Amino acid sequence: MNPTDRAFELGKLYYDRGEFAPAVDNLQEATKAFFAEKNFSQYLKCINLLLRIYAEREQFEEINLAKEKLQDLVLKEGFELNSKTYYTLAVCASYKGQIDTAMDYLQKALAIALASDNKEDICHAIFGLAMCYSHPSSARYSDALKEIYNLQVFFQVYQMPDLQASSLFLNADILKQMKKYDEAIEVLWKAYDIVRETRNVVMSNYLMGALADTYFEIGDKDMARTYITLAQRSVDGENHKRLSRMVRHLAEKIGGETQSNFDLIFDEANHSVIEKKLGRIDFKNQFILLDLLRLFVQNQGQIYSKEFLVENVWKQPYDPAIHDNKIYVTIKRLRKLIEPDYEKPKTIKRLRKLIEPDYEKPKYIFRAKNGYYMNKAARVHFEH
């Protein structure tokens, strides 16, 4: 790989990870080299990524300079802009509230994409149109929803997880504007499943903000504060200026205390959990317990049989003579770690419960006739 291609790949890698400062350095280096080589297709890829970064950082002067370079490319080199570039220009215009300009760009983007039958570009153009239709200055919600539902057909065939998540965010926002809050929450949890797989930090923060805003509109301020706190903890104010401003605005709108109201937070990165009363609980070197809890937290309310647990956590064929007691003992160990200590009784007759909390009435891990599951009523969160 030559130095120019390496700079581009590094820039794209940093961009995907939301690390915009090193992304800009590498992409600007690649942009100059690609232009000098008259490799304009790669040059446009660099410009597109830079424009998206400038938009997220609200660097509008940089956007204008990039647009001037694109005009020079068209006028002096006779090179036609592609659909993706028109889409990116539309996003930048929409961020500035220039919806009519954005619509013009998107019509061009869609026409070029349709002419070349480029499905990915078609999807981006359709999403852009939906975004403009849903803008408060237009409020054409029915038109926006039609475009979003058109996208669902494409997503059944083509894998575009980031765009699919973005379309779900937009769908939820429209439903929220229409005061269909329960439907909006349901759509956002669909987006969560995608973001969890992609591990896109920026998308994750947008999701937390969207959940916070929707729960606030429902009237559940505790949940709203919980999610806005999560967003505040991880948003990069310097790199993600637009997102940071949105999160700050939401925090001011929600108001009040912003301490987490989750009962249990599974901290994947640090191999620990944070229990509301007990605080942080370290699972270092307790891999079976950690794997078991991860399964319950990620699939709250789903009942898992003893056979399933043995085969998927212990990775062994199930033998009731061996595993029934092992499962019982392991669940008890897990409960002792994560179940909060109940108020201690004062009478001598209940001395045993003074020494040992009442694990027969757990808060989190429940037993069903055919297995175990995480309490549906518990407020749990899986944090990557």
Residue from 298, 230, 226 nearest 262 by CA? 226
Query: What single DSSP character describes residue 343?
Result: P
pLDDT at 164: 94
Q: With CA atoms as reference, report the closest residue to 151 among 137, 166, 136, 140.
A: 166
Q: Which two tokens stand for residue 217?
A: 């509109």
pLDDT digits (tens, 9 = 90+) for 115-134: 999 999 999 999 999 999 99
**Radius of gyration of the chain measured on its C-alpha atoms:** 25
Characterize the bridge pairing of strands 365-368 and 279-282: unpaired
Rounded CA-CA distance 173/190 in Å is 14
Asked: is 265-383 a CATH 2.40.50.140 domain? The reply is: no
DSSP 278: T
User: In the prediction, which pLDDT does 136 show?
Assistant: 87
Residues of the chain with pLDDT under 70: 256-261, 341-360, 384
Domain ranges of the chain: 265-383
Listed residue (18, 10, 99) closest to 56, CA to CA: 18
Q: What is the pLDDT of residue 259?
A: 45
Tell me the one-letter amino acid at 12. K
Would you say 203 and 195 are in contact if contact means Cβ atoms under 8 Å apart?
Answer: yes
Dump pLDDT digits (tens) for 249-303.
Answer: 898 888 754 445 688 888 887 788 888 777 778 887 899 999 999 999 999 999 9
